[in-house]
């Protein structure tokens, strides 16, 4: 991958990954509003906004982050399976995306309930705080891994390095 393409893909990856974190924070704020408000319209509006934020911001950003992360890993010296931090980051990202995709139909169900419920029924909805809170922590862990890149190569990475490293730079 050329330097120009690599920088473009890395910039895209950073933009969608930070956007994913920001969208989750916005979703969490809406969840807190739904959980703490006694106003029926606020609860109804928060659930509708959580559904829209989830499907039209969080899901696309999560999928774009996963895709661009794969491209960055495959197109740079880090590789996909050479370093433990990349493997952990990929695993956590896939886990977060799968949980998100499995959780969003539930959000849509609660948003539909909020659209149709009377004021008394809205009191029982509460907010969605658990998934976005844990999700935010997972995303921040991924962010820290990607920023600090802890040392440690996988066995595959060590074999790859030995195979691709010039003989003159190998140590005995």
The tens digit of pLDDT for each residue in 47-67 reads 999 999 999 999 999 999 999
**Predicted local distance difference test score (pLDDT) of residue 89:** 94
Taking 50 as the threshold, does the pLDDT of residue 93 lie above it?
yes
pLDDT band at 171; cut points 50, 70, 90:
low
3-class DSSP string for the chain: CCHHHHHHHHHHHHHHHHHHHHHHHHHHHHHHHHHHCCCHHHHHHHHHHHHHHHHHHHHHHHHHHHHHHHHHHHHCCCCCCCEHHHHHHHHHHHHHHHHHHHHHHHHHHHHHHHHHCCHHHHHCCCCCCHHHHHHHHHHHHHHHHHHHCCCCECHHHHHHHHHHCCHHHCCC
The pTM of the full predicted model, rounded to 2 decimals, is 0.89
| Domain range list for the chain | 3-163
Does 19 score more than 90 pLDDT? yes
Mean of pLDDT values over 24-32: 97
């Amino acid at each position: 991958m050329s330097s120009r393409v690599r920088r473009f893909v890395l910039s895209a990856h950073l933009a969608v990954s930070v956007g994913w974190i920001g969208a989750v924070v916005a979703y969490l704020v809406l969840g807190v509003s739904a959980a703490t408000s006694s106003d029926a319209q606020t609860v109804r509006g928060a659930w509708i906004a959580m559904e829209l934020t989830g499907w039209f911001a969080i899901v696309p950003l999560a999928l774009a982050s996963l895709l661009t992360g794969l491209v960055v890993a495959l197109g740079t010296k880090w590789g996909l399976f050479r370093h433990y931090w990349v493997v952990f980051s990929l695993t956590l990202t896939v886990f977060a995306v799968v949980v998100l995709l499995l959780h969003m139909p539930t959000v849509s169900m609660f948003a539909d309930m909020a659209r149709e419920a009377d004021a008394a029924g809205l009191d029982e909805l509460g907010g969605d705080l658990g998934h976005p809170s844990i999700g935010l922590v997972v995303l921040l862990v991924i962010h820290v891994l990607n920023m600090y890149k802890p040392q440690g190569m996988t066995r595959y990475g060590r074999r790859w390095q030995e195979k691709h490293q010039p003989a003159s730079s190998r140590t005995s």
